[in-house]
Amino acid sequence: MRIVIAGGHGQIALRLERLLVAGGYEAVGVIRNPEQIQDVRAAGAEPIVLDLESASVEEVAEVLRGADAAVFAAGAGPDSGAARKETVDRGAAVLFADAAERAGVRRYVVVSSMGADPDHPGDEVFDAYLRAKGAADAYVRSRSALDWTILRPGMLTNDAGTGMVLLTASAGRGPVPRDDVAAALVELLETPATAGLTLELISGSVPVAVAVKDVAGN
């Protein structure tokens, strides 16, 4: 399988790339900054430099053609303002979804955020972030040509993964290591029956693979 990841230099994305390559997959990391090429290569993935804030749908679709799945893991980052939440966290996610449709890539997995809501109130930058992520999620859910799964992790940490999680439609607040988010993404990609689900993920007591099988109804 060839998996194309938007935001290929992100902390979750780099972990995901390493796991995919170790599992025999072909991983492609879409990045904006050419200085990140070596890090993506070091993770075993193929780097492709493309700015999702300025690229056309056709340019992105060209990258996605022939892929078995697309993962949207891009983000404007914690130091960005409200404007880039709109152009990256919403706009780039919509663009990537449109491009996946055009390229005929049905499987589409989104790394969202717990609390994402297009109607989230508030004037802080984080409020704008949650609105942008919520709007992007709503758009993806409206695309009948995509077999989408939306994953909403809790508070991300750099603790070593335990492989034990709580994965459900409503998990409640809690932390989760980025290692375990990446592991969950691999399992979701390997489990087509999770299409159409919006899931929350925090640390818990169930092995990742079992948790994904449970939500898939297997």
Active site residues: 129
Rounded distance between C-alpha atoms, residue 2 and residue 104, angstroms: 13
Residue 29 has, within 13 A of its CA and on its CB side, a CA count of 30
Q: Could you tell me which residues come within 8 angstroms of residue 76 by beta carbon, excluding any fewer than 6 positions away?
A: 84, 85, 87, 88, 89, 129
**Nearest 5°: CA angle at 80, between 76 and 82?**
90
Q: What is the DSSP string of 192-207?
A: GGGTTEEEEEEE-SEE
Burial 72-111 (b: 16+ CB within 10 A, else e): bbbbbeeebebebbbbbbbbbbbbbbbbbbbbebbbbbbb
**DSSP assignment, residue 36?**
G
